[in-house]
Amino acid sequence: MNSKYFTTVGGKRRKHIHLEMPQAFIPELAWFKVMLYVATQSSEDLFRMASVCPLFQTLANTPQVWNTISMAKYPDHPSWYHDNPAVQLFLQQCRACENPESIFREAFEVFFMQGNVEALYGMRIAATAGHMEAAYYVDFLACLELVSQKRMH
């Protein structure tokens, strides 16, 4: 629904229209692309945007958005946030939607902290998805493997 509002500008009363649905004149796909961009920049901005209207709330909760959402506000390990259920839920949702940063963090923990070589598979998945840090570690570890093989021969 549109609501009519009046403002006074320069002593003159002017009518303007307030749109309760911001998506009224812009296609949903365009809003979705905006939502994806916002998700890569800031999870806080994404959540603010999602609170604007039902369409934005729906778009913000798609797996594609969760796959690209920035996890920068919550660095390092999920166990650091055990006292904050909202953050735990956020991190779990990122992992459930195969967010490359989430995959990388889990693989990093398992490989370097627990010594499980199978975690390299997760690093490769994150690297293939475009995660730069994961690509660096995969390439670095591959180089170490080559050096190790050369020394054995």
In tens, the pLDDT along 37-54 reads 999 999 899 999 998 888
DSSP single-letter state for residue 25: T
Angle, vertex CA 31, rays to CA 30 and CA 37, nearest 5: 95
* pLDDT for residue 130 is more than 70: yes
Give residue for tokens 């911001």: 22
| Token pair in block for residue 48 | 């603010």
Query: pTM of the predicted model, to two decimals?
Result: 0.68
Residues 82 and 125 in one domain: no
Across-strand partners of 3?
Answer: 18
Phi and psi (nearest 5°) for 6? -120, 140
How many other C-beta atoms lie within 10 A of the C-beta of residue 109?
17
Q: Is the pLDDT of residue 3 over 50?
A: no
For residue 36, what are the domain limits? 27-97
Task: Fill in the amino acid letter for 6.
Answer: F
Considering the domain architecture, whether residues 58 and 115 belong to the same structural domain is answered as no
Residues 42 and 72 in one domain: yes
Q: Is position 39 within any domain? A: yes
Structure tokens given for 103:
């995959």
